């Protein structure tokens, strides 16, 4: 399951708008069939910065934990980076007051053998073990 972190977002952007961006990104990423992902398998976070100076000047997106699969070629990963960058550009263009930079960096393919564990928990009495590898 890929984790997408979008850094540099100013606190002035309402959370409701960020939810819209999150849903748009999930939909567009899931449309890249070679990734083999559903919207539910994509996690997106908007970490808050402890320093507000400069927020909104650079929007930096990191994609982590994208498992290795042969069909996730270099060209597919470039397509993913461009799609994320383009969506962020079109989303923030009317929300940020000045010129801004958007960059998307995708970590190297992740191999679960390098260290991975996952477990889905519920607040009820039943616990369900997640599969060893999730795309």
Under 8 Å between Cβ of 96 and 10: yes
3-state secondary structure 59-128: EEEEEECCECCCCCCHHHHHHHHHHHHHHHHHHHCCCCCCCCEEEEEECCCECHHHCCCCCECCCCCCCE
Q: Is the per-residue pLDDT at 74 higher than 60?
A: yes
Under 8 Å between Cβ of 70 and 86: no
- Please compute the mean of the pLDDT values over residues 105-125 and round it to a whole number: 87
pLDDT of residue 21: 98
Q: Which CATH number fits domain 3-113: 3.90.230.10, 3.30.429.10, 1.10.10.60, 3.50.4.10?
A: 3.30.429.10
Per-residue confidence band for 122, with pLDDT thresholds at 50, 70 and 90: confident
pLDDT of residue 51: 83
pLDDT of residue 106: 97
pLDDT of residue 50: 83
pLDDT of residue 1: 85
Per-residue confidence band for 19, with pLDDT thresholds at 50, 70 and 90: very high
Q: Is the per-residue pLDDT at 131 higher than 60?
A: no
């Amino acid at each position: 399951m890929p984790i997408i972190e979008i850094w540099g977002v100013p606190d002035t952007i309402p959370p409701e708008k960020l939810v819209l961006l999150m849903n748009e990104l999930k939909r567009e990423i899931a449309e890249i069939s070679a990734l083999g992902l559903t919207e539910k398998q994509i996690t997106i976070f908007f970490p808050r910065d402890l320093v507000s100076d400069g927020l909104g000047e650079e929007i930096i997106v990191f994609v982590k934990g994208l498992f290795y699969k042969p069909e996730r070629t270099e060209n597919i990963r470039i397509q993913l980076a461009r799609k994320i960058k383009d969506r962020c550009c079109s989303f923030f263009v009317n929300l940020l007051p000045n010129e801004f930079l958007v960059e998307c960096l995708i970590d190297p393919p992740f191999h679960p053998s390098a260290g991975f564990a996952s477990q889905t928990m519920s607040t009820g009495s039943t616990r369900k073990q997640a599969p060893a590898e999730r795309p």
